[in-house]
Structure 1
Amino acid sequence: MTPETIPQAMAALAKVDADIARALPQVGAPAARARERGFATFFSTIVSQQLSVEAARSIMSRVNTLLPELHAKAVLDVEGQALRDAGLSWRKVEYARGLAEAELAGTFSADGLEQLSDEEVISAITALRGFGRWSAEIYLMFSLGRTDVFPADDLALRVALGRLKRMDDKPTPKQARQMVEHWAPWRSVGSLFLWHYYRGEPL
């Protein structure tokens, strides 16, 4: 999902979905978004769970001071109490150490994910404690740049889809996935558009 592919994708989505064709001129195309790949991003994902962006950023700043090189061995070498003092809950310390142990044991490879299919990536990530399908799909979209992912468990995404489709209520995750099947192979860009629409929906 690059600035170059988004206009192409939005044009394709507008052709197959009249509601997108109606809404696109009103709110415009979404901006491209990307995140780093690798172990540090998974660690940051653990930190940010159920926290505000500001709180997570503050904790990660302390973690980066504690561990200037954020990799699996460094996480296991540092005392759990030091991570707790940086702001992680004991549960998140447990998740972070589990991630590091899996990486060092070779049962999980953050750098090897790009060689896998979307479903294989989801299976690999959700096998880790503390990571659900939503986290895996977000990694697919923003770190691996996969173009056909729809994280239907995202509440804002479903609220926006319900509004776009002029429904009385938001669809369930299962309904949402069915409703956007025809967006393939651009469901990631369709998701970006829904988040954009959620923030900028015209009155």
Structure 2
Amino acid sequence: MSEPMSVKLPVKDSAAGGEHREDGTGSVGGSRAFALLLVITGAAGLLASWVITLDKFELLKDPDFQPGCSINPVVACGSIMKSDQAEVFGFPNPMLGLAAYAVVIGVGMSLLGRARFPRWYWLTLNAGTLFGVGFCTWLQFQSLYRINALCLWCCLAWVATILMFWYVTSFNVRNGFLPAPGWLKTFFEDFTWALPVMHVGVIAMLILTRWGADLWS
């Protein structure tokens, strides 16, 4: 008499608007919505990094060059690009973004092709997004309280990185790759979207508190 066939059911991936499946090796794939989120946020970050890099090259050729996003004394991308904080690792920061955001796009495209990845891969991606959001937080502080200027393309990269971080973290918590109590897993199932909204909201409040009407003057 043959043994009953075991069927591995899909696990609901509500925070990403779909479902993922785990194969017999423990590798996990993401839903279409999660994959698209990675592709879109990666593309947004890549676009921002590319534009900033091009403007940085123009500044190197002509110190009097004014980037298109320098529209007033506060929203002044040129001031950001000329600062020491713009080259933390000895080269322009957006060059790091060109590589990092391209990797995220690659992961998203692989998921759209139904690729599955093991636990270590997802944790590595999570570590990368954690570094990214931490670096962005440091840059936000420098921008608001040290350089005293704001770069719109940088803001786009910040938002993209924040979305990546929270949704990748949610994915790993809900799959058990990151240890977490049951209530936290339940929270991530239904309210992942609230975390990046609150995160971006806090940054927006700090920007408005710092400059207020000067943003549009």
TM-score scaled by length of structure 1: 0.34
Bigger RCO (CA 8 Å, 6+ sep): 2
TM-score scaled by length of structure 2: 0.32
Structure with max Cα Rg: 2
